[in-house]
Structure 1
Amino acid sequence: MEFRILGPLEVLAGTERLDIGGTRQRITLANLLLDANRVVTVDRLAEAIYGDDLPPTSRAQVQICISSLRRLFAAHGDPDVISTQSRGYILRVADDALDARRFEALTSLARRAREAGHLDEAVSRYREALALWRGEAMEGIDGRPVQAAASRLNEERILSNEDCVQLELDLGRHQQLVGELDRLVERYPLRERLRGQLMLALYRSGRRAEALRVYRLARETMIEELGIEPNDQLQRLEQAILTADDSLDAPPEAAVPTEPPPGPAFPVPGLLPNAIADFTGRAKQVDAIERELALAFEDAGRFAVPVIVITGKAGIGKTTVAVHAAHTVAQQFPFGQLFADLHGGGASRQVSPMQILERFLRALGVPGNSIPDGLEERAEMYRALLADRRTLVVLDDAAGESHVLPLLPGTRSSAVIITSRSRLAGLAGAIHIDMDIFDADQSIELLGRIAGVARVRSEPDAARALAELCGQLPLALRIAGARLSARPHWRVEQLVSRLEDETRRLDELNHGEMGIRASISLTYESVGEEARRLFRRLAIPDTGMFSVWIGAALLDRSFEHTSDLFDELADAQLIEAAGGGAHALYRFHDLIRVFARERLAAEETPAERKAALERVLRALLFLAEAAHRREYGGDYVQIHSDAPRRPLPARLVAGLVGEPLPWYERERPLLVSGIRQAAQAGFTDLCWDLAISAVTLFESRAYLDDWRETHEIALAACRHAGDVRGQAAMLYSRGSLHITEKRFPEARRDFEQAIRLFTDIGDDQGTALVLRNIAFLERMSGRYEDAAAHYERALAMFTADGDQVGAAYVLHNLAQLRLDTGDPEGASSLLSEALALSREGGSRRVESQVLHRMGDTYLAWGEPALAAEIFDTALAMVRAIGDPVGEAYILNGLGIARLRRGETGRADEALRHAVGLALSTGDRLAEGRALLGLGELALARDDAGHAVTHLERALGVFRCIRTPTYEARALTMLDGARAALQRQAREDDGPQETSGALGRGDHLGEPGELVG
């Protein structure tokens, strides 16, 4: 695809112009293109779209715009143009696919040709660049960032045009320029340089009077528009024209230099290491370095030395990129290239600036006896020597800002490329290029270049596995490739099998002087003692991501102190940061995690490791309970152990779990792995309490596999430890999972065991929770009296314990029983009480369930308008709390309400959405109910064929999950649909006797009764 911003925003796929979409998409794309190949934050995109008045949904709207653009590009063969980063998005585009980049490149070439005296070539490049413009930059797109960038681009265009015209005047092409200059002056009447160029072109063409008239018009315009006279240069030009000054004549061709100036008469150092023959996969970074250097030297207003800092973890390939880029741009630095390895990764091996300055001064021609003794004096001599020499300085592996500051030239004539494992944020004005690991294709390409392309291609699966075991880290890949190259008799699979043993992986990734362990160890030793302790203890939790609070628990230190240690590790590239504030997350690279586990085993005792793990699990349980209370409005529908919690400061807790479900989602890997680690360590009470606390997430987001796995682990741990209450709690919760999966016989077996154990130990709360779920099973089986009896017993226990939300839950289920038995008045009374209790208890989830039942009640009363209103309120609530299962049920009710109001189109939309949610969450009952609704809708539309299809599917679902009540309803409706289908088949012509009455619910058990 080709992107154009030099004029109205356009995207071309071949010859096809793409429809970018509305204003927001165009603003989003424009901002991504202005910073192509760089991260554009979500906040910046939101500000570009909305200005200072950001609506609450601004970030969501940005995500919607990004999704729309991705779909557009994917539809035209390029789904990966826009990628998500930790802080925002990157639009990746080659320089030749963006007209603004082509314009920059061409004008840069033009300026170089002009400096070298090749004027014809310079004009050709300028004209090629100007031909890319189709109008004002990003014409028609509003927003301050876009307008500011557009103004800059438009200014660059007219400056380039002026420079081009000046060159052509110097070449004697004045006659050809008059028409163009006339148009430019008309378009830019206040640009005095253009006025002067037009005057000169007219004068040299023998049109002296017209040239003077241009000046008079310029003077009138300047006075009228700005209240000032033309500048001195224009006034002097007018005077020269009046006096026919010889200096205005076109210079003879011989006066135009055609050869570049002679080279320097100084020593020209060439200290760069050899170029890398198998350089792979870093073209974008090298291009970025070239581009940034070119822009820095073209900026006439810049006085500071251009500094580029390449950062990344050990083994990522920083030196390789720096050396390759230095060779690529070497010709731009005629006074030579300096290179020094500062060995910043290891304190004992660091080379001081004093030593480097001695080497550099000698390379620049200073005799040894003339080199000053002091650091400041050496730095002053160094800067003086480079003041007017265009030299490239490459400083590899810098430890920090102080390590490189004495080595920076003093003027913009030279440039510096620095590599470091730290970001060197203290270097003002430095351009930062972050290095990341290779992708799979780049990794395999590098392996092939080292070990042999045919060899790697012959074992593609093994090659990919090898790349993954190397963590896509360039140094590890080089070592692996070198080992294969040195052992031509090995298959790739052999090396893979050796690396699969994690305890030996770093030993295997060693060849000659190259070694991953040694590389990481240098960085590890460079950080402080407490940071090293945090680093190795972060390998204790078996999770891919970790938050700062985990580190605080591991060290038994404050959040603020630990946060500083995380920053130290992140600056050293030992961990990778994502996000910020209380929600900051960090992770290890795979090979660095292996190193951390090695150090953990070597430097921490088993007792220290176990104590640190227990602190993390206690803090995790404390936060999980806080998140549950915030989500449910209190500590409801929970059974807890006596395990000690690790309290965290209230302000920190509020920041972490202020949005409870997103917190659960972030910490989901830790919850699952923490339950397993608690069982392995013998922390049984922590194990089962964490498992039941995690159900808040597992149930709301339908993570049924996680629910099952964690409860099997916890139940086994409780049985092994003889923890009766823990066994009962796990059986109760696993039975709830079976209900969610509509595996009712398995649920009943677990509940029967659980209630027996709870009764044995006299736990009324646990008994009540199990009773309400058994009551649900009885209702699904059509045994309404038994269901009511169980609900009444549970209600009495919840009321005695003061559990308002538990009581509200039971009351709304009793209300459903009343609806099932044709008593909507009785249901309404119970629901009013349930709604008050759920609101007093602060449980949004139970409140939404009560509202759902109220909507059902209004439908049973024949009030679909009131029902739709209630369902809409409930729908907003479940969407706000992220409950897709509840959303499926409520959408089903809303669809029926719309159908009863005759809104068949909107009913169809709601019911199909309900089916989709039910399928995605695996809730078979919700699926069956929505299919019943679609069957009723089809009958209302006199479409008996589709009605039969939907109802047969619904019947299959209800038979699978063994719900006789719903099975009977499906059969009743299906009989009616089949009869209608037969009637339609017998009727050839004429008006048909419709079965539209079925759409009013007459086919169901009670007049107006809901489906479900």
Structure 2
Amino acid sequence: MSEILYNDVTGVIYGSLVQARDIFGGVHLHEVASLPPPSQLPPRPRLVDREAALAELQSLREAPTDAPITLLITGSAGVGKSALSLAWAHMIRRHFPDGQLYAELHGYSDVAPVSPREVLGDFLRALGIPAELIPGDLAQRAALYRTVTQDQRLLVLLDDAMSAAQVQPLLPASPASITLVTSRHRLASLLMRGARSVYVDRFDAEASLALLRDALGSERLEQDREAASELVELCMRLPLALSVAAARLAARPSWPLREMVTALTEEQRALTALTIGDDVALHSALDLSYRALRPDTARLYRLLSLIPGDRFGADATAALAGVSRMEARRLLGELTDANLLTDIEDGRYRFHHALVRSHAYQLIETEDPGEAREAAVGRLLAWYLATAACAERRLRPHRTGLPRDAEPRPAELTDFGGPEDALQWLESERANLSAAVEMAHDRGREATAWQLADAMWALFLFMGHHMERVAVEETGLAAARSCGDRYAEAKMLNRLGLSLNALGRHDEAVARLGEALELWRQLGEREREVGTRRRLGLVSAGRGDHDAAIAELTAAIAAYRELGSGRNTALALMDLAGVLLARGQAFDAVVHLEQARALLRGVDDAYNRARVSIFLGHAHAGAGNHDEADRELRTGLEAMSELGSSAGRAAALEGLGELAERTGRRDEARQRYESALEILGEEGSVGYIRIRARLERLKNYS
């Protein structure tokens, strides 16, 4: 958060930060009671045959063991590993009441493999850990995940793994949990650690015919059983190829199976010189389905391979193809009917299989000129930027006049009903947005890259994602430098300095902020220069150097007042009050905070007004003004609850607990502290340790 000062101030919390040096031994977390267990499994697929494989999986699950169970499902591409694992997961999910977690790892896909660090972040959030309390480092996340899952009964499905290293950090710690992993290869080091393997072979002839019968009906299949058998062999008895061919036939109920066999034979004859084995069956089936598409649907199929992430909705699709949302939905429906796309939650889609996306990408490389591809990418990136800017305005309305000028402007803008919708969209599109920043930079669209990185600030402010945030902002900085925009460069240096400080990388933060400070001076941007000096004060406070922090913040307050910048003056006053509270100067802190409150009246910044209330509650408690402290803390708690800020709620609850303890209401104090701990969760954070110490002190009184 840009307004975070530090997290070692007695009685005051700006937010929570997990750093490697702050984690000592085990970490214990409490799940928020109102949060339901995660249920992330995609819909159950229709499964043909596989009774033997299902029985083997069940036998391995029931084998006596005192260790967490890991089952590895292997087999060639298109053989149905994902369908088998998902079907069995649905069969046994009732035995895992603490939740079911799911991740597509993209081990063999045209998009980059998903890092275990990213998956752990998603899993921890699903298990109830507030985003701002999730460490950035992979090892820390893995340790936290093991602690969280130690006593839980979880089912984890990891689809399309590339290596054991990608899987190992994602294995839950509880012996009552089970993990399913699918991969094209035997992951030897995973097996050495106790995983058991189930090999999935292609269908036999009868199972292949059963799949066709399930899709087309017995009557149609029996009309030409010989052609059906030939079709099975042309598809190499691979479920993926058979499913694509069946979808093609289902869309043409009057088409004889013999015509499909003839067409597929011709396709394979053309492909044989280029591909071998299973690739012939898969590519020929995909080619045949593709050639049956209407021209506008075929064009969209190709274009979708350009989307940087793996999931997409109608709005992004419309921008990519330059069509209306209604038209995009119609075309997406046709591709889903052809079994080339799969519709998933929240009205989004993905390619039916990584091989299908690869097929679409090969086609766009050969059938669409470079100018058309670049125009589509430009439309998509411009839509991402415009929509992120709309979300940004909903969440941080005081940020005005920001450059958001990518071209072409979207024909249909996406807007949001309020801050909650905006934040939900940013979080759901996070992977796509981060990938879009990288794509824009790689394709020389530098202004779009740095502006999109800047527009994502609201997401990072509310949700954390510290490591990803640094990566996005480093790309944004490189893009700003590439386009020679010194103002943008200084802005991204400021952003990156704050992000590094949030990770406890203080030396790097000082270096980046120092570069920004020099640029602002050269550009004559006095207010920006003061802002960077204030941020350097935040770094000093984070290091515990209160004298240096007071000097920087006092100078910033004077400069902001001279410039007539009321909101920035208020923020610097709050920062200074935090340092004064840490030094026991509660009366002085109250004076500064009342000045900050007055300056924030009329400013569209509910978050910082709530922070002022919480700070004033702590300050009044320290000054002995108990009634005022109670009123301010309750006001702050209510405001932070409405905003959805877990760190703000914990700060208010800790303040109420401290106030109750000061006034002899020890049972109430204990309840307040325990509630704050449930929200904070992270045993290694300074805030958690401080509140735990308060609870231990209360026990000594009893």
Q: Structure 2 length as normaliser, TM-score? A: 0.60
| Residue of structure 1 in register with 2:211 after alignment | 321
How many residue pairs get aligned? The number is 490
| Residue of structure 1 in register with 2:390 after alignment | 626
8 Å contact from structure 1 (residues 701, 884) kept in 2: no
1:900-956 alpha-carbon deviations (Å, 9 max, x no partner): 344445544554565566575x9x8xx22442333244234327xxxxxxxxxxxxx
Inter-CA distance 737–905: structure 2 relative to 1 (3 Å threshold): farther
1:851-873 alpha-carbon deviations (Å, 9 max, x no partner): 22122122223245653554344
Out of 600, 604, 624, the residue aligned to residue 862 of structure 1 is: 624
1:397-419 alpha-carbon deviations (Å, 9 max, x no partner): 56567836x99xxxxxxxxxx9x
Does residue 696 in structure 1 map to residue 490 in structure 2? no
Inter-CA distance 907–557: structure 2 relative to 1 (3 Å threshold): same
8 Å contact from structure 2 (residues 426, 459) kept in 1: yes
Deviation of residue 591 (structure 1)?
A: 1.0
8 Å contact from structure 2 (residues 398, 603) kept in 1: yes
| Residue of structure 2 in register with 1:403 after alignment | 253
Q: For the residues of structure 2 that align with 1:559 and 1:809, how far apart are their CA atoms?
A: 42
SS at match of 2:464: coil
Q: For the residues of structure 2 that align with 1:337 and 1:526, how far apart are their CA atoms?
A: 21
Q: For the residues of structure 2 that align with 1:812 and 1:830, how far apart are their CA atoms?
A: 7
Does residue 682 in structure 1 map to residue 448 in structure 2? no
Q: Which ranges in structure 2 are unaligned for 5 or more consecutive residues? A: 1-33, 38-42, 47-89, 104-201, 229-244, 261-270
Out of 583, 590, 598, the residue aligned to residue 354 of structure 2 is: 590
| Residue of structure 1 in register with 2:516 after alignment | 754
SS at match of 2:553: helix
Q: For the residues of structure 1 that align with 2:215 and 2:296, how far apart are their CA atoms?
A: 37
Q: For the residues of structure 1 that align with 2:577 and 2:698, how far apart are their CA atoms?
A: 28
8 Å contact from structure 1 (residues 775, 790) kept in 2: no
Inter-CA distance 337–766: structure 2 relative to 1 (3 Å threshold): closer
Q: For the residues of structure 1 that align with 2:502 and 2:687, how far apart are their CA atoms?
A: 14
| Residue of structure 1 in register with 2:95 after alignment | 78
Q: For the residues of structure 1 that align with 2:360 and 2:563, how far apart are their CA atoms?
A: 49
Deviation of residue 679 (structure 1)?
A: 1.3
Out of 714, 738, 744, the residue aligned to residue 476 of structure 2 is: 714
Q: For the residues of structure 2 that align with 1:326 and 1:699, how far apart are their CA atoms?
A: 52
Q: For the residues of structure 2 that align with 1:748 and 1:634, how far apart are their CA atoms?
A: 27
SS at match of 1:576: strand
8 Å contact from structure 2 (residues 215, 250) kept in 1: no
SS at match of 2:343: strand
Amino acid at match of 1:789: T
8 Å contact from structure 2 (residues 677, 691) kept in 1: no
Deviation of residue 707 (structure 1)?
A: 0.9
Amino acid at match of 1:857: A
Deviation of residue 706 (structure 1)?
A: 0.3
Does residue 767 in structure 1 map to residue 529 in structure 2? yes
8 Å contact from structure 2 (residues 447, 479) kept in 1: no
Inter-CA distance 818–615: structure 2 relative to 1 (3 Å threshold): same
Deviation of residue 592 (structure 1)?
A: 0.8
Amino acid at match of 2:556: Y
Inter-CA distance 547–658: structure 2 relative to 1 (3 Å threshold): farther
8 Å contact from structure 2 (residues 521, 529) kept in 1: yes
Deviation of residue 599 (structure 1)?
A: 1.0
Deviation of residue 674 (structure 1)?
A: 0.9
Equivalent residues in 2 for 1:31-46 (5 A)?
A: none
Q: For the residues of structure 1 that align with 2:628 and 2:310, how far apart are their CA atoms?
A: 49
Inter-CA distance 881–574: structure 2 relative to 1 (3 Å threshold): farther
Equivalent residues in 2 for 1:153-552 (5 A)?
A: 277=204, 320-323=210-213, 338-339=222-223, 403=253, 510-511=277-278, 515-552=281-318
Out of 357, 378, 403, the residue aligned to residue 614 of structure 1 is: 378
| Residue of structure 2 in register with 1:214 after alignment | none
Identity of aligned residues (%): 21
| Residue of structure 2 in register with 1:570 after alignment | 336
Q: For the residues of structure 2 that align with 1:725 and 1:662, how far apart are their CA atoms?
A: 30
Q: For the residues of structure 2 that align with 1:822 and 1:681, how far apart are their CA atoms?
A: 54
Out of 578, 603, 613, the residue aligned to residue 816 of structure 1 is: 578
Q: For the residues of structure 2 that align with 1:751 and 1:933, how far apart are their CA atoms?
A: 33
Q: Which moved more, 1:667-676 or 1:789-798?
A: 789-798
SS at match of 1:546: coil
| Residue of structure 2 in register with 1:742 after alignment | 504
Deviation of residue 621 (structure 1)?
A: 1.4
8 Å contact from structure 2 (residues 497, 512) kept in 1: yes
Q: Structure 1 length as normaliser, TM-score? A: 0.43
1:372-406 alpha-carbon deviations (Å, 9 max, x no partner): xxxxxxxxxxxxxxxxxxxxxxx9656567836x9
| Residue of structure 1 in register with 2:561 after alignment | 796
Inter-CA distance 572–37: structure 2 relative to 1 (3 Å threshold): closer
Out of 692, 695, 700, the residue aligned to residue 934 of structure 1 is: 692
Inter-CA distance 610–342: structure 2 relative to 1 (3 Å threshold): farther
Does residue 558 in structure 1 map to residue 324 in structure 2? yes
Does residue 604 in structure 1 map to residue 382 in structure 2? no
Amino acid at match of 1:646: R
8 Å contact from structure 1 (residues 788, 814) kept in 2: yes
Deviation of residue 559 (structure 1)?
A: 2.4
Q: For the residues of structure 2 that align with 1:731 and 1:547, how far apart are their CA atoms?
A: 33
8 Å contact from structure 1 (residues 768, 798) kept in 2: no
Deviation of residue 748 (structure 1)?
A: 2.1
Inter-CA distance 934–813: structure 2 relative to 1 (3 Å threshold): same
Q: For the residues of structure 1 that align with 2:698 and 2:596, how far apart are their CA atoms?
A: 34
| Residue of structure 2 in register with 1:664 after alignment | 426
Q: For the residues of structure 1 that align with 2:633 and 2:512, how far apart are their CA atoms?
A: 34
SS at match of 1:841: coil
Amino acid at match of 2:379: R
Q: For the residues of structure 2 that align with 1:671 and 1:77, how far apart are their CA atoms?
A: 35
Deviation of residue 711 (structure 1)?
A: 1.9
Inter-CA distance 82–909: structure 2 relative to 1 (3 Å threshold): closer
SS at match of 2:312: strand
8 Å contact from structure 1 (residues 771, 793) kept in 2: no
Q: For the residues of structure 1 that align with 2:537 and 2:99, how far apart are their CA atoms?
A: 52
Amino acid at match of 1:566: L
| Residue of structure 1 in register with 2:61 after alignment | none
8 Å contact from structure 2 (residues 289, 338) kept in 1: yes
Q: For the residues of structure 2 that align with 1:889 and 1:508, how far apart are their CA atoms?
A: 62
Q: For the residues of structure 1 that align with 2:333 and 2:303, how far apart are their CA atoms?
A: 16
Inter-CA distance 617–790: structure 2 relative to 1 (3 Å threshold): farther
Q: For the residues of structure 1 that align with 2:593 and 2:309, how far apart are their CA atoms?
A: 44
Q: For the residues of structure 1 that align with 2:99 and 2:515, how far apart are their CA atoms?
A: 53
Amino acid at match of 1:883: S
Amino acid at match of 2:296: E
Deviation of residue 722 (structure 1)?
A: 3.6
SS at match of 2:557: helix
| Residue of structure 2 in register with 1:878 after alignment | 640
Q: For the residues of structure 1 that align with 2:272 and 2:424, how far apart are their CA atoms?
A: 36
Q: For the residues of structure 2 that align with 1:325 and 1:756, how far apart are their CA atoms?
A: 67
Out of 576, 593, 617, the residue aligned to residue 831 of structure 1 is: 593
8 Å contact from structure 2 (residues 447, 483) kept in 1: no
SS at match of 1:545: coil
Inter-CA distance 340–911: structure 2 relative to 1 (3 Å threshold): farther
CA RMSD of aligned residues (A): 4.6
Deviation of residue 732 (structure 1)?
A: 0.9
Highest RCO, 1 vs 2 (Cα 8 Å, sep ≥ 6) = 2
